[in-house]
Amino acid sequence: MYRELIQSDPAIMMGKPVIAGTRITVELILEKLAAGEAVDQILQAHPRLTSEAIHAALAFAAEVLRADVVYPLNRIVY
């Protein structure tokens, strides 16, 4: 589903995945959601986005993270 809505072009946002036809990165959408913004708030702030585009960004991120790559996280010991 998301494949038509997500694109990556070296000439747009240095090749970061964006919503097709915009310069809105998947990264920005994920950061806003992680910060607690509601989908409606994001849509109001970015009128060119659709709820389908936001779901496409999430699907893209899920697929990318499904790869067999280890992301070491530093544990903070108190």
Domains for the chain: give ranges and CATH numbers.
2-65 (1.10.10.10)
C-alpha angle with apex 47: 17 to 14, nearest 5 degrees?
25
pLDDT of 2 over the 80 cut: no
pLDDT for 69 equals 73
Q: 56: left (phi > 0), else alpha (psi -120 to 50), else beta?
A: alpha
When pLDDT is cut at 50, 70 and 90, the band that residue 17 belongs to is very high
pLDDT for 68 equals 73
pLDDT for 46 equals 96
pLDDT tens digit sequence for 18-77 = 999 999 999 999 999 999 999 999 999 999 999 999 999 999 999 998 887 766 777 666
pTM: 0.84
DSSP letter assigned to residue 28: H
CB within 8 A of 40, min separation 6: which ones?
A: none
**Residues 10, 62: Cα–Cα separation, whole Å:** 22
